[in-house]
């Protein structure tokens, strides 16, 4: 019988996923990775942050399915066997959640809500005049599934949106830049959104050199991965005023340690990796469907 092995660091969630996938995949044996006794029988692995070398220990694995949109938590395994396909999981609800999160924080910055909140704390009546959306430049790093969806949401709200990606693929109503156009893209970006995947090329991209190329007082929203950001460089840029505010949803260490300076920094908003969580019910269905589809494609 085909075995689907499931691995997640959180034991409670692991049990839930094993039971849920077992219901959705009645023709397969769904097992927690630790319960696998015959390594040769595993043909699919459904994982979040699998331990190093675990996948390499299953020589017949046909595909590895990420319980989420990112795959860096799998590719960071130095022993990951080359040539094994990785399937990421994205549902329409995840795209919608990301659109909402980005719209929320862009609008909050656009209308200078942090300043207004500070004024309220001091009981100060201080009106802030803000430009309208067509006069506000938003730049999105990464124009893949999520980047493009968010760019279109912001465009529909009236913002002047630009997108940067390797290819610079055209998107209606968005000014797109390719790898070579990073400087020009940054020079006009007032609110920067990072929606890149974490790779060797993108790791540490949100650094002092990049911040200097933004207009003074720019704002940053990072929903990619914590490792995109050089933390000390952000703190220095906030101190100098080169960056005026930041929203961070992802961190190098998650959960963000209790004593981390970001928690209490007055110019940083911290959210606990909630921009677009996978819905376990619809996500499970997508994973089960993807396994079936992958099987059918590899047979035909
Ligand atoms: N915080 C959260 O809750 C949350 C939720 C979901 C996802 N995420 C993060 O969002 C990331 C993006 O997801 P996605 O599904 O939108 O990814 P995707 O569809 O693979 O798109 C990636 C985009 O980044 C561009 N890119 C990749 N490497 C680049 C480089 N070196 N230079 C310039 N552009 C580069 C790609 O360019 P091309 O178009 O030219 O290939 C593409 O436009 C995920 O990997 C994950 O880290 C976070």
What pLDDT, on the 0 to 100 scale, is given for residue 264?
A: 98
Which residues of the chain are modeled with pLDDT < 50? none
Residue 292, both tokens: 């079936």
Ligand 1 contacts CB of residue 145 (under 6 A): yes
Residue 76, both tokens: 């960071």
What pLDDT, on the 0 to 100 scale, is given for residue 200?
A: 96
Q: Specify the residue with its C-alpha closest to ligand 1, atom 18.
A: 144
Residue 273: active-site member: yes
If you measure from the C-alpha of residue 165 to the centroid of ligand 1, how many angstroms do you get, rounded to a whole number? 9
What pLDDT, on the 0 to 100 scale, is given for residue 183?
A: 98
How confident is the model over 5-37, as pLDDT tens digits? 999 999 999 999 999 999 999 999 999 999 999
Residue 192, both tokens: 């920067």
Q: Specify the residue with its C-alpha closest to ligand 1, atom 41.
A: 166
What pLDDT, on the 0 to 100 scale, is given for residue 280?
A: 85
What pLDDT, on the 0 to 100 scale, is given for residue 190?
A: 98
Residue 108: active-site member: no
C-alpha dihedral (127, 189, 198, 11), degrees to nearest 10: 20
Q: Which atom of ligand 1 lies closest to the CA of 225?
A: 47
**Contact (CB, 8 A) for 185 and 139:** yes
**Contact (CB, 8 A) for 229 and 210:** no
Q: Specify the residue with its C-alpha closest to ligand 1, atom 19.
A: 144
If you measure from the C-alpha of residue 69 to the centroid of ligand 1, how many angstroms do you get, rounded to a whole number? 9
Its pTM stands at: 0.96
Say how far apart CA 274 and CA 171 lie, in whole Å.
27
Phi, psi of 53 (to 5 degrees): 85, -5
Residue 257, both tokens: 């340690």
If you measure from the C-alpha of residue 199 to the centroid of ligand 1, how many angstroms do you get, rounded to a whole number? 9
What pLDDT, on the 0 to 100 scale, is given for residue 299?
A: 78
What pLDDT, on the 0 to 100 scale, is given for residue 21?
A: 97
């Amino acid at each position: 019988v085909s075995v689907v092995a499931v691995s997640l660091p959180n034991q409670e969630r692991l049990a839930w996923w094993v039971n849920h996938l077992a219901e959705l995949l009645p023709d397969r044996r769904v097992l927690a990775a630790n319960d696998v006794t015959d390594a040769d029988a595993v043909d699919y692995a459904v994982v979040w942050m699998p331990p190093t070398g675990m996948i390499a220990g299953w020589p017949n694995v046909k595909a590895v399915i990420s319980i989420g949109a990112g795959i860096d938590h799998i590719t960071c395994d130095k022993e990951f066997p080359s040539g094994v396909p990785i399937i990421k999981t994205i549902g329409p609800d995840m795209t919608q959640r990301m659109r909402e999160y980005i719209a929320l924080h862009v609008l909050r910055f656009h209308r200078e809500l942090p300043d207004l909140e500070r004024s309220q704390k001091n009981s100060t009546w201080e009106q802030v005049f803000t430009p309208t959306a067509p006069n506000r430049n938003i730049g999105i790093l990464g124009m893949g599934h999520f980047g493009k969806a968010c760019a279109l949401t912001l465009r529909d709200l009236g913002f002047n949106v630009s997108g940067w990606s390797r290819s610079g693929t055209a998107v209606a109503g968005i000014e797109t830049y390719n790898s070579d156009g990073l400087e020009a893209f940054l020079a006009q970006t007032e609110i920067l959104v990072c929606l890149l995947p974490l790779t060797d090329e993108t790791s540490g991209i949100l650094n002092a050199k990049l911040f200097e190329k933004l207009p003074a007082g720019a704002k940053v929203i990072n929903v990619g991965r914590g490792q995109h950001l050089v933390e000390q460089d952000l703190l220095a840029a906030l101190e100098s005023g080169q960056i005026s505010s930041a929203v961070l949803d992802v961190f190098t260490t998650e959960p963000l340690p209790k004593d981390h300076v970001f928690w209490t920094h007055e110019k940083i908003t911290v959210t606990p990796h909630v921009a677009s969580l996978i819905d376990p019910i619809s996500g499970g269905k997508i994973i089960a469907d993807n396994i079936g589809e992958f099987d059918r494609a590899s047979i035909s």
